[in-house]
Structure 1
Amino acid sequence: MKIAILGSGGVGGYFGARLAAAGYDVTFVARGKHLEAIRRNGLRVVSPMGDIEIPNARTVDAVDGVGKVDLVLVAVKLWDTESAAQSLKPLVDQGAAVVSFQNGVHKDEVLARHLPLQSIFGGVCYIASVISEPGVITHSGTMQKLTFGEYDGSQSPRVTAFYDACQIAKITAEITRDIRRLIWEKFVFLVGLSGTTASIRKPIGPIRENPRTREFLLQVMEEVVAVGRAKGVDLPADFAQDRLAFCDSIPATMTSSMHHDLERGNRLELPWLSRGVAEFGAELNIATPRNRAIADILELYTPGTPQ
């Protein structure tokens, strides 16, 4: 299996490195100082699951340098999805399948505007990892899982082949027959985690321990559940409580990529997270005051404030 990683940061860099270390033909699409460092020193992953070094990682700075591949893993930031989708058409025309492990629930709809729907299958990733310095991915904790599946629920050869690759690469993986629901389940947690950690400027530990911020976290997630159910997603009415219990099980130091981006002055994925929930709510006539407040609080930081 030949695999291209479009977006070689915390998600793409980590899972791509595991696949490359297992012997798969992996091409990393990267840019800037990160690309320069990988070309100079190789790609390095620091992880409690075992460090990885890919000294001669195959890298390109644009999709047109990838060549023919079987599968593209999309892991770019959400604002790059539109341009990424447009760039992938030549690879799809040559037979590549596409799976996105980006955040949120908008991603595959954007991809499908530019690519044949049958070329896309759905994916969700669970990991806490960041580019700690150019060429280096740091993975926190032991959670590193990919869940994926066809939107029609079938167990296709391409999904099975990717699952087998994950097993060989020691990536925890699962095939689901209800990927849309799984994407929304993660979205409930993700919006809660990203919205509260970024707006409160604290990791999950203090937020879940204080009664008022704990209730705020729960209400943020309840709004996402209400929106998802209104859109026809099969989420239990009390699913936010389930996710709050999950928040109690994760390390107290865990935070979100949006919180990291805020602290570093980077652009935020806010329009596709709390702002996206507020916009869905407005369309569906569902009140989303907590998510709208988060979106308004962080609005000035959304474009980024680079030093």
Structure 2
Amino acid sequence: MKILVIGSGGVGGFYGAKLVQSGHDVTFVARGQHLEAMRQTGLQIEGDSGISLALQRVTVVEDPRTVKHPDLVLIAVKLWDLKDMAAQLKDVVGPSTTVLSLQNGVVKDIVLKKAFGDKAVIGGVGYVATSIGRPGVIKQVGNLQKIRLGTYGGAPSPLVSELANSLASVGVDALVSDDIQRVLWEKFVFLVGLSSMTCLTRLTIGPIRENPVSRHMLQCVISEAVNTGLAHKVALPVDYAATAMALVDQLPYSMTSSMFHDLDKGNRLELPWLGGGVISLAEEAGVQVPVNQFIADALSPHVNGRPAAK
């Protein structure tokens, strides 16, 4: 397969490298020092015990428009870049190109379907703790490397099966789901709770779930997101909020969220597509989400990065 990876950071760099390892023709899109390092020394994945994969040479470009009509475009940029990136890809995506986003949330695929049509977009959920450790190196924490893929209705896709089999052949827990929308929402409601509450309180998940008041607030965030999914006919169990809270109780005490790290660094936040995504989708369905609205309002001064001092 000819694959274009848009965004070669923790997620795109990791899964892209695994697809190179499995024998596919992969072109990465990167910027700055990461781009230069990949050009000069390739791409490495570094785990807790050292380098686990070293690609001495990779194909990397700065402008995705130099690649025409790949079989698959894998998108892993920050959510605020998605609409602009979709516009850039108009001439890249051909009639037979499949588009896969491994970004957070569920709004991403709504955007992509509007840009490229329902048939071009497949769903995917990645589970891996990675980031750019240094230019040219993807740092992986822990051993989790999982992905779930699937089409939005219709017949199973040979490309989806090939993609899952390729990743499984290089050690990724990769499966094809017969209801990828449900899988996306299962992660979404959990992630909204984790990101919203760690950012609001500036705490790790441990103290949040131990305090009765903040625990109740976390459960309300998740319950509102579940109710929104149910209103949109997503096949979530009606008691999925309890399942998500059980997952929260299994998290390491010191765990936060990627949005927490962005807040801490003064970077832009993906809030409009996470908690904000719940709010917009709830409004469409006539569902009330007061706790998600409160948190979005409280964090709104930080959405575009740390406010400048005056």
Q: Tell me which residue corresponds to 1:98.
A: 99
Q: Secondary structure of 1:93's partner?
A: coil
Rounded Cα–Cα distance in structure 2 between residues aligned with 1:12 and 1:113: 22
Rounded Cα–Cα distance in structure 1 between residues aligned with 2:76 and 2:24: 18
Q: Deviations over 1:107-136 (max 9, x none)?
A: 111112221321111111112222233332
Residue 48 of structure 1: how far off its partner (Å)? 4.2
Q: Tell me which residue corresponds to 1:225.
A: 226
1:76 maps to a residue whose letter is V
Q: Tell me which residue corresponds to 2:205.
A: 204
Rounded Cα–Cα distance in structure 2 between residues aligned with 1:142 and 1:212: 33
* Structure 2 alignment gaps of length 5 or more: none
Q: Which runs of 4+ in 1 moved over 3 A?
A: 282-285
2:134 maps to a residue whose letter is E
1:14 maps to a residue whose letter is F
Q: Tell me which residue corresponds to 2:150.
A: 149
Rounded Cα–Cα distance in structure 1 between residues aligned with 2:209 and 2:7: 32
Rounded Cα–Cα distance in structure 2 between residues aligned with 1:184 and 1:67: 32
Aligned positions of 1:133-282 closer than 5 A: 133-282=134-283
Rounded Cα–Cα distance in structure 2 between residues aligned with 1:150 and 1:300: 37
**RMSD of aligned Cα (Å):** 2.0
Q: Tell me which residue corresponds to 2:45.
A: 45
1:47 maps to a residue whose letter is G
**Could you tell which deviates more after superposition, 210-219 or 143-152?**
210-219
Q: Secondary structure of 1:113's partner?
A: helix
Q: Tell me which residue corresponds to 1:70.
A: 71
Rounded Cα–Cα distance in structure 2 between residues aligned with 1:138 and 1:242: 30
Rounded Cα–Cα distance in structure 1 between residues aligned with 2:305 and 2:26: 31
Say if 1:154 and 1:177, in contact at 8 Å, map to a contact too. no
Pair 1:34 & 2:46 matched: no
Rounded Cα–Cα distance in structure 2 between residues aligned with 1:223 and 1:119: 30
Rounded Cα–Cα distance in structure 1 between residues aligned with 2:69 and 2:254: 41
* Structure 1 alignment gaps of length 5 or more: none
**Percent identity for Structure 1 against Structure 2:** 46
Q: Secondary structure of 1:169's partner?
A: coil
Say if 2:199 and 2:260, in contact at 8 Å, map to a contact too. yes
Q: TM-score, normalised by structure 2?
A: 0.92
- CA 1:69–1:284: 2 relative to 1, 3 Å: closer
Rounded Cα–Cα distance in structure 2 between residues aligned with 1:111 and 1:246: 29
Rounded Cα–Cα distance in structure 2 between residues aligned with 1:298 and 1:77: 18
Rounded Cα–Cα distance in structure 1 between residues aligned with 2:202 and 2:131: 18
Say if 1:11 and 1:129, in contact at 8 Å, map to a contact too. yes
Residue 306 of structure 1: how far off its partner (Å)? 9.0
Rounded Cα–Cα distance in structure 1 between residues aligned with 2:215 and 2:282: 22
Rounded Cα–Cα distance in structure 2 between residues aligned with 1:214 and 1:293: 16
Q: Deviations over 1:56-108 (max 9, x none)?
A: 22110111123442211111111111122222233322632111111111111
Residue 253 of structure 1: how far off its partner (Å)? 2.7
Say if 2:69 and 2:94, in contact at 8 Å, map to a contact too. no
1:44 maps to a residue whose letter is Q
Residue 220 of structure 1: how far off its partner (Å)? 0.7
Aligned residues: 307
2:37 maps to a residue whose letter is A
